[in-house]
A and B are shown apart, each in its own frame.
Chain A
Amino acid sequence: MQELISRAKELLADGTVARVLGWRAGDLPYNPEPAYFTTAEELENFVYNGFCGANLSKYMIEASKLEGKTMVCLKPCDTYSFNQLIKEHRVDREKAYIVGVGCKGKLDIEKAKKLGIKGIESVSGAEMTNAADTLTFQTIYGEKSCSYAEAMLERCHVCKGKEHMVYDELIGESKDTKDAERFAEVEKIEAMSPAEKFAFFQKELSKCIRCNACRNVCPACSCRKCVFDSTKFDSAQKANVDSFEEKMFHVIRAFHVAGRCTDCGECSRVCPQGIPLHLFNRKYIKDINELYGEYQAGADTESRGPLTNFTFDDCEPSIVTQR
């Protein structure tokens, strides 16, 4: 983290960048927020640890409109989102100085809390320099601990890898955190009967409160105005008119980002109701892989997207009835 701060100070001092986009230390041990820094003094509050899960790529849409370059800290998985945004002409590569930051998996404090860890006063083991596999919590109710992996975000268990897809320089080491198969959960649902599938999604999606956090945090949801925010649209973005809409909102959203979703997992990270929204996206990724050939959105900035390209090997529309 100190190396990041020193480098940020240098880049600000020599005028390479006008601002730094990173994370500012929170007021609890686990709640840093995305923040801009413009002076060395402000950088004293810069933090980078296991709780910096937020994908800063989407903030670069706005930062691209600002005067001068922005140094942005991107984790390996975040760089896929950034590449995809380049491809869609939503961010300006020239306006970004990308520091690829190391990652050893990001944490979900809710997972620790579900293990009964509450009244948290401090956490150790979440620092980047700490090689420990254990998180130790000092709490009002005594010392508690859990393994780092137990408190990791779902997406880190199926990590896409340690490599940054786009960067100007790299700072920090990354760790391989993958310990599960990316499509295992999807396959489980595929194996269900239609009635079981319906019940599964009914149960999960009935929790949705239409806060739109999944949409707003999603780097692929980069429309300047979402159709669901239109006052002329006969569907409210703030309430479910009926249970059909409750289900359809998420299905429609997943369709809109199909072929462009990098599987960054932000939707599931931010959902206040813990809905595994990534499963929709991952199902479409799996289908696309099978029907149009292996494709990873955001792995590059040049390739044509599977759904915006045509090849003679593409599946025929009859695939719908065949399946």
Chain B
Amino acid sequence: MYKIAKENLPALFQLIAGERELYVPVNNNGQVNFAAWTEGAVVDLDTLKSVKSPKDAFFPQSENLYTCYKDGKKITIQPEELQNQNFVVFGMKACDVKGVEVLDKVFLSEPVDSFYAARRAHGTIVALACHEPEESCFCKVFGIDCAEPVADVAAWMVEGELYWKALTEKGEALTKAAASLLTETDEAKVEAEKAAIRAIVEKLPYSDLSLEGWNGDALTEKFNSPVWEDLYKPCQACGTCTFVCPTCQCYDIKDYDTGHGVQRYRCWDSCMYSDFTMMAHGNNRTSQLQRFRQRFMHKLVYFPANNDGMYSCVGCGRCVEKCPSSLNIVKVIKAFEKQGGDQ
């Protein structure tokens, strides 16, 4: 275990950024999102959650796959280069790290997504324990311990000092690179911090949310439930929940006419959008009820059915905070719980 004073963090960031790219939570006009560190960046480690999850670091909202250039009758196809430089994401939370684990299931299973795999291979995650969890958090429900994030490096902010513990080889390498600024210390203060965080988690209103009945075998029962008919109504079909989510992984592939060729890119898709999974024959989900249902069935039924029971929700609570109509996965789970009770 090492530590570094909070006021020395800019020096640490400078050191890391000197040899590889560094992503940190940055405050831009009042909103905190992960962005590349620059000298003038306003780094914000106090705000609990970035608006967007940090999944962009591995699965960007938009990325080129290849570009076609046309010169007379000659067409050249230039594939996009894969990530080949090491980078660090500093300040992810335990839920966000678990979100990456969910993405791994999708993108690292056969056929492996080479763009994602290259980023994962070159990325080192420094995860920060949640000093003061908030009422919209429910990571505990998914077995996540926000007091002890599992990443390449786990970190804790206690009384103006950042405690640092490498957990993997990548983490050891980063520790070595940052050694000149880190001092060795014992774990006493971190142990106290962990206990304090866990005590707060117990008090959070969503910590006792029950996922009973949500599993890969519940498909027919949940899919056909009349509960959806009332639930989806406030939904205005925007993509906020899907775009702030650390685990939403659906993407679309599009061509952009550059005027002298074509740029093929992929971008996040949202099951809330009317052209989601549109095919030549049309769309297989024609109503908002179906699209709304898709999101929650995917997270709580389809994903566990295909991934040994693993849910594709990590309880970060961003959808809870950001939905314009105050709908969210917690309300969905509770609505089904209530219906079960009524029967």
Inter-chain contact B135/A238, CB cutoff 8 Å: no
Q: How far is the CB of B199 from chain A (nearest CB, A)?
A: 10
The answer to whether A34 touches B325, judged by C-beta atoms less than 8 angstroms apart, is yes
Q: Are B240 and A140 in contact (CB under 8 A)?
A: no
* CB <8 Å contact, A33 and B234: yes
Determine which residue in A34, A119, A210 has the highest number of CB atoms from chain B within 10 A of its CB, and name it: A119
Within B295-321, the residues touching A (CB, 8 Å) are 320-321
Given known A-B contacts A229-B274, A274-B30, A239 and B200 have beta carbons under 8 A apart:
no
Asked if A33 contacts B326 (CB within 8 A), the reply is: yes
Flag the segment in B153-161, B167-175, B212-220, B264-272 that touches A.
B264-272
Residues of B within 8 A of A210 (CB): 61, 239, 243
Q: Are A236 and B267 closer than 8 Å at their CB atoms?
A: yes
Tell me which of A32, A118, A238, A273 contacts B239 (CB under 8 A). Answer: A238
**Binary contact track A35-57/B, C-beta < 8 Å → 1, others 0:** 11000000000000000001000
Residue-wise, chain B 164-202 has the 8 Å CB interface mask toward A (1 for contact) of: 000000000000000000000000000000000000100
For residue B103, CB closer than 8 A to chain A, the reply is: no
9-residue interface stretch from A186-194, A199-207, A283-291: A199-207
A140 / chain B contacts, CB cutoff of 8 Å? 135, 200, 203-204
The answer, yes or no, to whether B284 is at the interface (CB within 8 Å) is no
Contacts A140-B203, A212-B239, A234-B256 given; indicate if A203 touches B326 (C-beta within 8 A).
Answer: no
Contact A272 B240 (CB under 8 A): yes
Name the residue of chain B whose CB is nearest to the CB of A269: B324
What is the bound-complex CA distance between A234 and B255, given in angstroms? 8
A255 to chain B, nearest CB (A): 20
Taking CB atoms, residues of chain A closer than 8 Å to B136 are: 28
Residues of A near B33 (CB, < 8 A) are 207, 273
Instruction: State the CA gap A119–B134 with chains docked (Å).
Output: 4
Q: Is A27 an interface residue (CB 8 A)?
A: yes
A204 touches B324 (CB 8 A): no
Known: A54-B324, A237-B273. A216 touches B256 (CB 8 A): no
Q: Within 8 Å CB of B19, what residues of A?
A: none
Q: Which of B28, B135, B268, B322 contacts A239 (CB 8 A)?
A: B268
Residue of B230, B238, B330 near A211 (CB, 8 A) is: B238
B120 to chain A, nearest CB (A): 22
The interface centre, meaning the residue of A203, A206, A209 with most chain B CB atoms within 10 A of its CB, is: A209
- Closest-by-CB residue of A relative to B236 is A216
Question: Which residues 52-89 of A have a CB within 8 angstroms of B?
Answer: 54, 58
A interface residues, tally (CB under 8 Å)? 46
The answer to whether B324 touches A217 (Cβ under 8 A) is yes
Report if B79 contacts A (CB, 8 A): no
Nearest chain B CB to A168 CB, angstrom units: 23
Per the bound structure, the CA–CA distance linking A79 and B205 in Å amounts to: 36
| B327 on the A face (CB < 8 A) | yes
CB A192 to nearest CB in B, in angstroms, measures 15
Contacts of A237 in B (CB 8 A): 273
Residue of A nearest to B335 (CB): A27
Q: A140-B200, A211-B238 are in contact. Are A238 and B326 (CB under 8 A)?
A: no
Question: In the complex, what's the smallest C-beta–C-beta distance from B193 to chain A, in angstroms?
Answer: 15
Any A CB within 8 A of the CB of B109: no
A217 to chain B, nearest CB (A): 5
A27-B331, A121-B205 known; A270 vs B239 contact (CB < 8 Å):
no
Q: Is A213 an interface residue (CB 8 A)?
A: yes
Shortest beta-carbon distance, A214 to chain B, in Å?
A: 8
Q: Beyond A140-B204, A238-B273, is A118–B238 a contact (Cβ under 8 Å)?
A: no
Interface residue tally on B, bucketed by range: 35 or more
For residue A15, CB closer than 8 A to chain B, the reply is no
Contacts of B326 in A (CB 8 A): 26, 31-33, 54
Complex interface: chain A residues within 8 A of B51 (CB)? 207, 209, 272-273
Q: Which residues in B have their C-beta under 8 angstroms from that of A110? A: 321
B48 adjacent to chain A (CB < 8 Å): yes
A2 interface hit (Cβ, 8 Å): no
Known contacts A203-B28, A229-B274, A229-B275; A26/B236 CB under 8 A: no
Query: Considering residues B132, B237, B239, B330, which has the most beta carbons from chain A within 10 angstroms of its beta carbon?
Result: B239
- List the B side residues contacting A118 at CB < 8 Å: 48, 132, 134-135
Using known A-B contacts A28-B205, A140-B135, A213-B324, determine if residue A238 contacts B269 with beta carbons closer than 8 Å.
yes
Q: Kindly state whether residue A120 has any CB partner on chain B within 8 Å.
A: yes
Identity of the chain A residue whose Cβ is nearest the Cβ of B330 in the assembled complex: A27
A240 touches which of B28, B29, B62, B243 (Cβ 8 Å): B62
- Given the complex, which residues of B lie within 8 Å of A248, measured CB to CB? none
Contacts of B132 in A (CB 8 A): 118-119, 141
Chain B residues whose C-beta falls within 8 Å of the C-beta of A33 in the assembled complex: 234, 325-327, 331
- Residues A26 and B275 in contact, CB atoms below 8 Å apart: no
Q: Answer whether residue A323 sits at the interface, using C-beta atoms and an 8 A cutoff.
A: no
The interface residues of chain A lying within 8 Å CB-to-CB of B321 are: 110
Contact with A along B16-41 (1 / 0, CB 8 A): 00000000000011110100000000
Chain B residues with CB below 8 A from A252, complex form: none
Contact between chains at A231 and B28 (CB < 8 Å): no
Show 9 A/B contacts (Cβ-Cβ < 8 Å), sorted by A. A28-B205, A33-B234, A34-B234, A114-B30, A119-B132, A119-B135, A234-B257, A237-B273, A272-B240
Task: Other than A33-B234, A211-B243, give 9 A-B pairs with Cβ distance below 8 A.
Answer: A27-B331, A118-B134, A119-B134, A140-B135, A207-B33, A209-B243, A238-B268, A270-B240, A272-B243
Binding site for B on A (CB under 8 A): 26-28, 31-36, 54, 58, 110, 114, 118-121, 140-141, 203-204, 206-207, 209-213, 215-217, 225, 229, 231, 234, 236-241, 269-270, 272-274
For the complex of A and B, 10 pairs with smallest distance between CB atoms: A239-B267, A270-B324, A213-B238, A239-B62, A31-B326, A216-B238, A211-B240, A33-B326, A272-B322, A216-B236
